[in-house]
Structure 1
Amino acid sequence: MTKYLISFPSGAMHVSDAELPAVSEAAHEVVREAKVAGVWVFGGGIDERVAPVLVSEDGTFSPGTYPQTNQIEGGYSILELPTYADAVDWAAKIARACRCAQEVRAFQDDPES
């Protein structure tokens, strides 16, 4: 089976403060469904209050990111699924719950992970 990253950037989610509890519950319901189905690996949102750092091979670090990843934020789910079509189906469930489109990407197979 393949692991899929299903994600969205923070700016894609247009939900009022009043709607947030219902959206949160709907998203958690999809998480519970994925866990029961045995396809849930991991999920969460990037804590945007914590600034990213770039760590070198010698352990030194500096504020910031690679330029092309400057905008990584939002919500992420990793599911292990038999087909790409299944990933798209789960992404649709997450999109309905979060009220925004989801991006689907497949991880390359690595027998060590």
Structure 2
Amino acid sequence: MTRYLISFDDGAMTFPEEELPEVAEASLEVVRKARDAAVWVFGGGLERQQASVVSTDGTVTNGPYPETKAVLGGFAIIDVPSREDALEWAAKIAAACRCAQEVREIMADPTV
């Protein structure tokens, strides 16, 4: 099995705010299905623009950042047999969240 990161950018969810409960329930349903299928590893939404950047010298810069900086809005990590399976789960998440999803393979760690 291979792990994949499925993610979307902050601001990609552009539906009206009053639809948030419906979108949240649809998203949770996909998570339930992924758990039932034993492919869910971990995931969640991220607080908007609240990242801290730690430089190589240890200097910490805290957000919020200007709107021009790309920021991750949410993610899921799944463990599936193939990229095609990952793309199918990403399609389910995209439909539930009402926004496009990026899919990236997580490099295997041979020591784990």
Under TM normalisation by the shorter chain, which class is it? 0.7 to 0.9
**2:61 — aligned with what?**
63
1:33 is displaced (CA, Å) by: 0.3
Give the gaps of 5 or more residues in structure 2: 64-68
Change (3 A) 1:108 1:49: closer
Give the aligned partner of residue 97 of structure 2. 98
Alpha-carbon deviation of 1:109? 1.1
Offset of residue 49 of structure 1: 5.5
Percent identity (aligned): 50
Q: CA-atom RMSD, angstroms? A: 1.8
Q: Alignment length, in residue pairs?
A: 107
- The CA deviation at 1:29 is 0.2
- In structure 2, distance between residues paired with 1:61 and 1:31: 37
TM-score (norm 2): 0.86
- Alignment map for 1:5-84 (pairs within 5 Å): 5-48=5-48, 50-54=50-54, 56=56, 60-63=58-61, 70-84=69-83
**2: CA distance, partners of 1:16 / 1:100:** 13
Change (3 A) 1:102 1:51: closer
* Amino acid of the structure 2 residue aligned with 1:16: P
Q: How far apart, CA to CA, are the structure 2 residues paired with 1:97 and 1:105? A: 19
Q: C-alpha distance in 2, partners of 1:48/1:103?
A: 18
Task: Give the distance between the partners of 1:10 and 1:107, measured in 2 at CA.
Answer: 21
- Report the TM-score when normalising by structure 1: 0.85
Q: Which moved more, 1:103-112 or 1:47-56?
A: 47-56
Q: Which whole-Å CA distance do the structure 2 matches of 1:54 and 1:85 have between them?
A: 35
Q: Structure 1: which 5+ runs fail to align?
A: none
Q: Secondary structure at 2:47's aligned position in 1? A: coil
Structure 1 Cα separation of the partners of residues 51 and 98 of structure 2: 27
- Indicate how the Cα distance of structure 1 residues 91 and 51 shifts in structure 2: closer, same or farther if over 3 A, else same: closer
